[in-house]
Amino acid sequence: MVAVIIFAVSMAALAQFALYYWRATISGVASHAISDRIRVAAGITHAMIGARDFHNIIVLNHLSPDLRGPNGAFRAIRAYYSVVEKLGRIAPGISRWADAEMTTCSRYVAVLMDQHLERNMACAAQVRGI
């Protein structure tokens, strides 16, 4: 019985650490600069990418070809965004936190899409040069 309790506590601590690490990785990527090319391609007219721009960037992801296969589905970040969005609606007290988290998710996806478009443009330039 004691072994089961120790195992359960260890798994909970490991899951918490994994979540914090994943969240820190997302914040690190989201802090990079985002080019105007993404804003124009996603139809974002304002200067800063916000929480409500997430869906526009996901649509852009669906419209751009992936040269490496179906690796860029953003399943985990989309699930996280959805959960945080629902929590922000249910509990108004955490709506500020939820908005900040959704903005981080939007910026994260925008940075990755910017890198994706850069790779596609480099590949196209290479093909034209052949």
* 3-class DSSP string for 39-78: HHHHCCCCCCCCHHHHHHHHHHHHHCCCCCCCCCCCHHHH
**In this predicted structure, what is the pLDDT of residue 71?**
59
| pLDDT tens digits, one per residue of 74-90 | 889 999 999 999 999 99
**In this predicted structure, what is the pLDDT of residue 70?**
54
Q: Over 70: is that where the pLDDT of 65 sits?
A: no
**In this predicted structure, what is the pLDDT of residue 27?**
93
Asked whether the CA dihedral 61, 22, 54, 28 is positive or negative, the reply is negative
Q: Over 60: is that where the pLDDT of 68 sits?
A: no
Domain range summary for the chain, segments of one domain joined by +:
2-129
Output the pTM of the full model: 0.83
**In this predicted structure, what is the pLDDT of residue 20?**
94
Cα distance between the two ends of the chain: 67
| pLDDT tens digits, one per residue of 19-44 | 999 999 999 999 998 888 888 888 88
Please choose, from the candidates 62, 98, 63, the residue with its C-alpha nearest in 3D space to the C-alpha of residue 82: 98
Q: Over 70: is that where the pLDDT of 107 sits?
A: yes
Q: Over 60: is that where the pLDDT of 15 sits?
A: yes
